[in-house]
Amino acid sequence: MGRLFGTDGVRGKANADLTPELALAIAVAAAHTLAESDRSHAPLAVVGRDPRASGEMLEAAVVAGLASAGANVLRVGVLPTPGVAFLVGETKADLGVMLSASHNPMPDNGIKLFAAGGHKLPDEVEMRIEAAIEANAATAWERPTGAGIGRVHDLLDGADHYVQHLVGSVPHRLDGLKVVVDCANGAAADIAPVAYKEAGAEVIAIHAEPDGLNINDGCGSTHLDVVRAAVVEHGADLGLAHDGDADRCHAVTADGEEVDGDQIMAILALAMREAGTLTEDTLVATVMSNLGLRLAMSREGIRLVETRVGDRYVLEELRASGLALGGEQSGHIIVPAYATTGDGVLTGLHLMSRMAATGRSLADLASVVTKLPQVLVNVPVGDRTVGATAPAVVAAAERAEAELGETGRVLLRPSGTEPLVRVMVEAATEGTAREVAERIAAEVRQASPA
């Protein structure tokens, strides 16, 4: 078995790559690994999912696996990933399981695991779970019988608790703002519109009727055209778009211009510094963030710390250094005072709160960041490690960086979830960035043909 966990949990086509048998094995191994330090009580697990149809099947397998390992289970049903993480902490559970493939298309699904407190797992713990599955440790562990088998209950008011937590975090009410929210026919559908309304905004919800098959289908944070059009049609102050499990937030201005995670982080960083809550005047972002964010934060006197790609690595840095804000260009924004992972609805609330508090438009607030042209080429490969590290590829990237100098940069990264190598180039002009990216992508294709 190769590496099972990717950048954000285990992901694959449901019932083909990600089977009920694998889901059950992951659940058993996770229950033993994450609750092994204290067996004085039956472990407690929180299980949630996004609305894609395969989640029903995989939820059954995960719940069975947890109960067979002696863990009691609280099912919270369809809920955003950050909502599941929040409830892991609220219920003092030993672990949490979220079934979602985030922004991926409906046939895919995934398993995200949380430790006590609602924190994503470090690599070392994921590797222990993988090793247990590979060794078929599930059959070696003593299986409880009788009263030792875990019990399963539904947490019926979990969503209400989560919404109240979100609304209670808002520093300034949203009265007077009109927002269009694209719920991606996903887990945000019953959460985001309610939270935004309760915080005072006028809300127009679109793609908020999930049927299990339409999640992320031409909508959400990776398809902004529809929310752009709706904002202009309704004369809204802004639009917000979430992904399938609502841990991301992208925005559009009143004129339909995109505001990405880098710009949102800059807006929130300045707001938090003004409020005295931006610890050490420091923002944490990943290596994928635009050079324009770095330049803007330097100009504003805010230090920027970089991590690997993945919101869990941002969170690890936030926790290790006691910092207060971090995130990714993709719209995963983490505010540790209120969330243990990226939370799209929380982000939307705090972004609108800044607009309401200042009376400034989103376009005006976002103008603090002047983004450099950035071209991302996703190259299908046979082996993503070879494609990213072959000598010819590395040499091409080094030549390009020398050519660009301080006016740009190159980033090569194997995808954590797909057989792709991501080639990202920033340069003074889009033409230059695209030419350099395609040149490097050609070397990747030659090094590891798909």
Residues at the binding site for Mg(2+) are 102, 243, 245, 247
Beta strand pairing call for 374-380 and 420-426: antiparallel
Listed residue (78, 80, 5, 89) closest to 44, CA to CA: 89
CA–CA gap between residue 442 and residue 425 (Å, rounded): 14
Listed residue (341, 340, 320) closest to 331, CA to CA: 341
In three-state form (DSSP H/G/I as H, E/B as E, the rest C), the secondary structure along 270-301 is: HHHHHHCCCHHHEEEEECCCCHHHHHHHHHCC
**Alpha-helix residue ranges (DSSP H) falling in 122-201:** 123-134, 137-140, 158-168, 192-198
Q: Hunting for tokens 């420091």 — which residue is that?
A: 282
Structure tokens given for 225? 């055209």
**Through-space distance between the first and last CA atoms of the chain, rounded to whole angstroms:** 20
Q: What string of DSSP letters covers 343-365?
A: -HHHHHHHHHHHHHHHT--HHHH
CA–CA gap between residue 387 and residue 413 (Å, rounded): 9
Catalytic residues: 102
Structural contact between residues 372 and 408, judged by C-beta atoms closer than 8 angstroms: yes
Crossing angle of helices 54-68 and 20-34, rounded to 10°? 40
CA–CA gap between residue 84 and residue 46 (Å, rounded): 7
Binding residues: 102, 243, 245, 247
Helix-then-strand count for the chain, H and E: 16, 19
Residue type, 45: A
Which of the 8 DSSP states describes residue 322? T
